[in-house]
Amino acid sequence: MSRWIQDGDNVDLTNERKKATFDTERMSAWIHGGAEVLKRRREILAFVKSVDDFNDPVPVEFLSREERILNNARKVVAMTGNTDQIDGSDFFGEGMYYQALTMGRDLHAMSLHYVMFIPTLQGQTDDDQLDEWLTKAISRAVIGTYAQTELGHGTNLSKLETTATYDPATEEFVLNSPTITAAKWWPGGLGKSSNYAVVVAQLYTKGECKGPHPFIVQLRDDETHIPLKGIRLGDIGPKLGINGNDNGFMLFDKVRIPRNALLMRYAKVKPDGTYVAPAHSKLGYGTMVFVRSIMIKDQSTQLAAAATIATRYAAVRRQGEISPGKGEVQIIDYQTQQFRVFPQMARAFAFMAAATEIRNLYMTVTEQLTHGNTELLAELHVLSSGLKSVVSWDTAQGIEQCRLACGGHGYSQASGFPEIFGYAVGGCTYEGENIVMLLQVARFLMKAAEGVKKGTANLADIGAYIGKTGGKTSRLTTHHHYTDKDLIEDLEHVARKQVFRAYDRLKKAQDHLRPEDAWNSVSVELAKASRWHVRLYLVKNFLNKVSLAPQDLKFVLTDVARLYAYDIITSSIGAFLEDGYMTSQQINEVKEGLYECLAKLRPNAVSLVDSWDYDDKELKSVLGRRDGNVYPALLEWAQNSQLNKTEVLPSYHKYLGPMMKDARSKL
């Protein structure tokens, strides 16, 4: 008996757990940052399990949207009312875990209150505003959201249409939505829950547009919660996921707000309408970088959940015979199954390692910013944008692979996959559309390439490879002798090559096109360069983290890290073969290495996913249950179906029954 092996468990799953060649508990501690962190996770789990308000009446997939909203409101009040149970300063760790346990994958009425509204107040208010608003926000006297995106405008902030026109006569701004496309659209919690918002609008004063600025605006009456005059609010309807949240729309009809509604830490408008520009235009980026940094952790957690479900289910599910007469085999024994699922597990590990790094970098930058030091801000911006894009895409793809690997039952909401996918895949679009993000990274890469060409490059660690002169051929002999160093150099070669391919094409295009058109004409190649840049970072960072792991964990982590790297290489063979950098024989070696990793990971797979320390409360998957008793649980789960409340449905009485009766009467 242990945390993972208990009486009554599915026998196959128990056998898997007994086979592991490492200590699951020690691996969990390594993953989560030490035994103490692990202990705290379990305290938080025990607390959440002890509070009735955190229980769902039935699995949430059986609730209507109205019911989900109500259920979530109860939980979020309980969750935010018990924050003394966690270390509030550790949002990346305890905060996110606590929220995942209590709220699942549905966000809630106060998601943006905590992730966007409060950080914006902290970052953008002057001291007087901070006193007033932060107090109200933190005490939960108001619920705020962040209203920037409009129906017709997303990534390109400069074209937002909502206007805030200053009227010096009354010392007020007039908020207005001049068109339908100006409607605020998407903000979480805006439709029904929030009564305040930071609204981003084009600031007009003295007849001039000063660009988009943030304003704090009351939306609904404090007592009745009815929208204030001139403000039209509503829910934007059902989505692919996150349907327990009331993402909303908002239209302003000449709504007057006081001058000090403008958040004035940086830009200011004086009573007479004089505009004072901010000293440093980049300081406003803090919130977005914060959210993107969190996203890496969040996405890796979703992918790991998917890999946990698929791996456990593959150990439980038996289908087909390999040796005739010996009975059906666990599907995890099929190479094709391993090839589908294990790389997703490896990716999740790699992304978690990156999440730790980006958190550390974010902390450093935040600390520096308080001293006005913006040295690392650009690097964090580039890295978080690139990681956000690559990680969210690979995560969505990986979740879908895990779902498909579970066959028909993966399609049922009992699997948890539809919720996990719906939740995670939003990350490809929000907080900066992925392709746009990659093209931002490409700006940095093209500057770096230019610097290298001109001999003026001064590249920090993450971009140093662009200035290196690598070998003309890979040093790989056999995969057993393929060192981390050689592997990284091979990836560096490919990344560098793509950077300069894009650069050369760009330069060539600039000969006959205007700069913007030239950029557009090579943008597919530019995005590719950015992807290689990020992948290289992910592999380097993961290999480095593994090299520092304790000896008893390192051997299995090495299999994981190698699988991650080999999967990248064998998925893009062409990039390595080009110009004879690798031979077909070398590629075959990498493939053999990959197949060997699959075979070596096979006996450790279940314990590896156990190490992530998901409780069933967090995983919310019938297929991925710790105990492996999947089939009785599926039958039990299905009993909750709305359709099973009545033996004979109205559809029979009203339509199908009369149709058949009529036909029988004519036979």
Start-to-end Cα distance in the chain? 65
The Cα 289–Cα 104 span in angstroms is 24
- Tell me the HSE value of 104 on the side-chain side, using a 13 A CA sphere: 29
Is position 473 an interface residue for a second copy (rule: CB under 8 A)? no
Q: Per the structure block, which two tokens stand in for 168?
A: 């010096």
Count of residues binding a second copy (CB under 8 A)? 139
Which value, to the nearest 10 degrees, does the dihedral of the CA atoms of residues 359, 39, 347, 22 take? Answer: 140
Is position 321 an interface residue for a second copy (rule: CB under 8 A)? yes
Q: Are 499 and 445 in contact (CB under 8 A)?
A: yes
Query: Which one-letter amino acid corresponds to residue 442?
Result: A
Is position 642 an interface residue for a second copy (rule: CB under 8 A)? yes
**What's the closest the beta carbon of residue 571 comes to a second copy, in angstroms?**
9
Is position 346 an interface residue for a second copy (rule: CB under 8 A)? no
Instruction: Single out the residue of 93, 95, 144, 154 in contact with a second copy (rule: CB under 8 A).
Output: 154
Is position 2 an interface residue for a second copy (rule: CB under 8 A)? no
Q: Are 638 and 590 in contact (CB under 8 A)?
A: no
**What's the closest the beta carbon of residue 156 comes to a second copy, in angstroms?**
5
Residue 202: closest CA among 228, 170, 232, 176: 176
The Cα 398–Cα 409 span in angstroms is 17
**What's the closest the beta carbon of residue 232 comes to a second copy, in angstroms?**
10
Query: What is the pattern of x (binds a second copy, CB under 8 A) and - over residues 226-255?
Result: xx------xxxxxxxx----x--x------
Instruction: Identify residues 410-439 at the interface with a second copy (CB under 8 A).
Output: 410-414, 417-418, 422, 425-426, 428-430, 433-435, 439
| Cβ within 8 Å of residue 619, ≥6 positions away | 305, 308, 309, 416, 625
Helix spans in 455-579 (H): 484-512, 515-521, 523-547, 551-571, 573-577
Instruction: Candidates 30-38, 162-170, 366-374, 626-634: pick the segment binding a second copy (CB under 8 A).
Output: 626-634
Instruction: Candidates 351-359, 460-468, 577-585, 608-616: pick the segment binding a second copy (CB under 8 A).
Output: 577-585
Instruction: Candidates 198-206, 273-281, 379-387, 573-581: pick the segment binding a second copy (CB under 8 A).
Output: 573-581
* Catalytic choice (431, 489, 492, 618): 431
The residues facing 248 across adjacent strands are 235
Is position 302 an interface residue for a second copy (rule: CB under 8 A)? no
User: Which of 459, 573 has the CB closer to a second copy?
Assistant: 573
- Find the length of the chain: 667
Is position 312 an interface residue for a second copy (rule: CB under 8 A)? no
Instruction: Identify residues 93-152 at the interface with a second copy (CB under 8 A).
Output: 109, 135-136, 139-143, 149, 151-152
Q: Are 154 and 124 in contact (CB under 8 A)?
A: no
User: Which of 140, 282 has the CB closer to a second copy?
Assistant: 140
Query: What is the pattern of x (binds a second copy, CB under 8 A) and - over residues 521-560?
Result: xxxx--x---------------------------------
Is position 51 an interface residue for a second copy (rule: CB under 8 A)? no
User: Which of 34, 657 has the CB closer to a second copy?
Assistant: 657
Q: What does DSSP say about strands 163-167 and 196-205: parallel, antiparallel, or unpaired?
A: parallel
User: Which of 75, 626 has the CB closer to a second copy?
Assistant: 75
Is position 470 an interface residue for a second copy (rule: CB under 8 A)? no
Q: Are 34 and 564 in contact (CB under 8 A)?
A: no
Q: How many CB atoms lie within 10 A of CB 476?
A: 23
Query: What is the pattern of x (binds a second copy, CB under 8 A) and - over residues 73-92?
Result: xx-xx--xx-----------
Is position 11 an interface residue for a second copy (rule: CB under 8 A)? no
User: Which of 291, 353 has the CB closer to a second copy?
Assistant: 291
Q: What is the DSSP letter of 155?
A: S
- Tell me the HSE value of 116 on the side-chain side, using a 13 A CA sphere: 26
Helix (H, G, I), strand (E, B) or coil at 163: strand
User: Which of 376, 436 has the CB closer to a second copy?
Assistant: 436
| Cβ within 8 Å of residue 391, ≥6 positions away | 295, 296, 299, 300, 351, 354, 538
Is position 275 an interface residue for a second copy (rule: CB under 8 A)? no
**Is residue 647 flagged as an active site residue?**
no
Q: Please, is 422 exposed, middle or buried when counting C-beta atoms within 10 Å of its C-beta (0-12, 13-18, 19+)?
A: middle
Is position 458 an interface residue for a second copy (rule: CB under 8 A)? no
The Cα 69–Cα 244 span in angstroms is 5
Q: Per the structure block, which two tokens stand in for 84?
A: 């003394």
User: Which of 471, 657 has the CB closer to a second copy?
Assistant: 657
Q: What does DSSP say about strands 208-218 and 268-269: parallel, antiparallel, or unpaired?
A: unpaired
Q: Please, is 617 exposed, middle or buried when counting C-beta atoms within 10 Å of its C-beta (0-12, 13-18, 19+)?
A: middle
User: Which of 494, 546 has the CB closer to a second copy?
Assistant: 494
Q: State yes or no: 188 annotated in a binding site.
A: yes
User: Which of 459, 633 has the CB closer to a second copy?
Assistant: 633
**What's the closest the beta carbon of residue 111 comes to a second copy, in angstroms?**
13
**What's the closest the beta carbon of residue 482 comes to a second copy, in angstroms?**
18
Instruction: Identify residues 161-220 at the interface with a second copy (CB under 8 A).
Output: 180-181, 183, 185-186, 191-193, 195
Instruction: Candidates 281-289, 328-336, 549-557, 604-612: pick the segment binding a second copy (CB under 8 A).
Output: 328-336
Instruction: Candidates 68-76, 163-171, 207-215, 607-615: pick the segment binding a second copy (CB under 8 A).
Output: 68-76
Q: State yes or no: 311 annotated in a binding site.
A: no
Q: Per the structure block, which two tokens stand in for 553?
A: 């964990």
Binding site residues, as ranges?
Answer: 149, 188
Catalytic residue ranges = 431
Binding site residues for FAD, as ranges?
Answer: 149, 188
